[in-house]
Amino acid sequence: MSLTVNLNITPLNTHFNPKPKTHKTPTFLTTPIYHSNKLTHKNPTFLTHHTHKKMTSSHVIKSSLIDPDGGVLVDLIVPEDQRGLKCVEAEGMVKVGLTKIDLEWVHVVSEGWASPLKGFMREDEYLQSLHFGSLRIDGCRVNMSLPIVLAIDDETKERIGGDKDVALVGPDSNTVAILRSIEIYKHNKEERIARTWGTTAPGLPYVEEVITPAGNWLIGGDLEVLSPIKYNDGLDSYRLSPKQLREEFDRRQADAVFAFQLRNPVHNGHALLMNDTRKRLLDLGYKNPILLLHPLGGYTKADDVPLDVRMEQHSKVLEDGVLDPETTIVSIFPSPMHYAGPTEVQWHAKARINAGANFYIVGRDPAGMGHPTEKRDLYDPDHGKKVLSMAPGLEKLNILPFRVAAYDTVAKEMAFFDPSRAKDFLFISGTKMRSFARTGESPPNGFMCPGGWDVLVKYYASLQAAPSVVSA
């Protein structure tokens, strides 16, 4: 198995050309690294073709496994024939600078992951998100647990004055989007942090890197994105939009799609539960359940494994046959990570509804981390799945709670934990796994497929070889 993915999605010219990522790209990665997602190699025109088929065949029902929130998938990319005019118009507007992470949010919103949200939140949406984890839209309630907001400083607010529209400019100074019918309101950082994370303790990664340095105002409005956001990091072709994913699920004639959100390498415990989930869905009578293995591709904290390394690791997991490429789609979820536990897991699930997944796997302590100042988990490890199962707007999604997997020292493989023989099981945390890989120590046989493990070992070796670059 060594198929290069060719999505055959015509790259659109874009003003956006982000700088290379600042973490060290391991030297052994020179070409696109993910080889197992056989999306289109047999039919390079499937997307267009399928769009046509949808209107004439029974396949039309497939992309309605689950409706996007609000009924219609939001698409904020300006059509090509209007792009020139809009760019000219934007040049006449006050410019508002975006950080790298702001731009990730523009990407997320532009493709409809946050449907029915059509831009950065105005105050009404922001308050509903903070207080209710959801928005009331036309009498219905959709989930919206994270505030998706854009901060500006006093000087920018002053420059905007009474203008109604502004132009958004990426970190490379290219104009990326127009924000229409803007509303500027106070950025009460303390309240935002407290209500999003349930703590204001210092040391929350997203807070320290994004919120604390941000301005004291938030600017909401409707986005018009001048061209699709690209990162030019060799991974853009794996960044399928919700529309593209829905089309692919149709093409594969999926009758169930189960999403697995992750920001870590896949070990055999993860694989066990994904394969077990597929089995359970088949037992329930589904004929063709498709796994959406959906690594998060936006901002992650410094000690997480970088996206490109994870993508290569995931490709090895499929090459080694731990997951079945025929029934798996690997794609990148472009959202930044908050590490906000039960609040954030709702966002992770909601975004996958918009991408067409009708089943969502949730594990222990999703989107959690250690408390930044106390020696304990920040969140109760069970709260994520409990909150998810009760969240407004997620009623239509099937939540599949995780059975805990651990290393069975008797069977010498990852297995579902059996409390009746607890002493036979070894729990290997993410921290422990990273420590193994860093020191070159092998984890127990059967913990992870050898090809996947090698990717991690090489990554950590490259870090140690070039510490000054890493810390840059």
Which residues in this chain contact a copy of itself in the complex, by CB under 8 A? 123-124, 127-128, 130-134, 136, 141, 145, 186, 188, 190-191, 194-195, 197-201, 342-343, 379-380, 383, 386-387, 390-392
CB of 87 to a copy of itself, least distance (A): 36
CB of 432 to a copy of itself, least distance (A): 25
Nearer to a copy of itself, 198 or 234 (CB): 198
CA–CA gap between residue 90 and residue 270 (Å, rounded)? 46
In 3D space, the residue among 444, 439, 451, 262 whose CA is nearest the CA of residue 362 turns out to be 262
CB of 185 to a copy of itself, least distance (A): 8
CB of 383 to a copy of itself, least distance (A): 6
CB of 112 to a copy of itself, least distance (A): 23
Half-sphere exposure of 141 (CA within 13 A, CB side): 13
Q: Which two tokens stand for residue 471?
A: 């810390």
Residue 442's CB is within 10 A of a number of other CB atoms, namely: 13
Nearer to a copy of itself, 83 or 371 (CB): 371
Nearer to a copy of itself, 376 or 423 (CB): 376
CB of 71 to a copy of itself, least distance (A): 20
Nearer to a copy of itself, 194 or 284 (CB): 194
Nearer to a copy of itself, 136 or 287 (CB): 136
Nearer to a copy of itself, 183 or 454 (CB): 183
CB of 342 to a copy of itself, least distance (A): 7
CB of 131 to a copy of itself, least distance (A): 5
In 3D space, the residue among 317, 341, 320, 342 whose CA is nearest the CA of residue 330 turns out to be 317
Residue 84's CB is within 10 A of a number of other CB atoms, namely: 11
CA angle 85, 88, 92 (to 5 degrees): 135
Q: Which two tokens stand for residue 24?
A: 């060290």
Residue 304's CB is within 10 A of a number of other CB atoms, namely: 20
Q: Which two tokens stand for residue 277?
A: 């989930």
What would you measure as the largest C-alpha separation in the chain, in angstroms?
A: 70
Give the pairing of strands 175-186 and 217-225: antiparallel
Nearer to a copy of itself, 188 or 264 (CB): 188
Nearer to a copy of itself, 381 or 430 (CB): 381
In 3D space, the residue among 297, 266, 255 whose CA is nearest the CA of residue 433 turns out to be 266
In 3D space, the residue among 156, 151, 173 whose CA is nearest the CA of residue 91 turns out to be 173
CA–CA gap between residue 146 and residue 464 (Å, rounded)? 36
Nearer to a copy of itself, 394 or 449 (CB): 394
CB of 390 to a copy of itself, least distance (A): 5
CA–CA gap between residue 400 and residue 336 (Å, rounded)? 23
CA–CA gap between residue 316 and residue 211 (Å, rounded)? 36
Residue 405: in which H helix or E strand, if any? strand 405-408
Q: Which two tokens stand for residue 460?
A: 């950590």
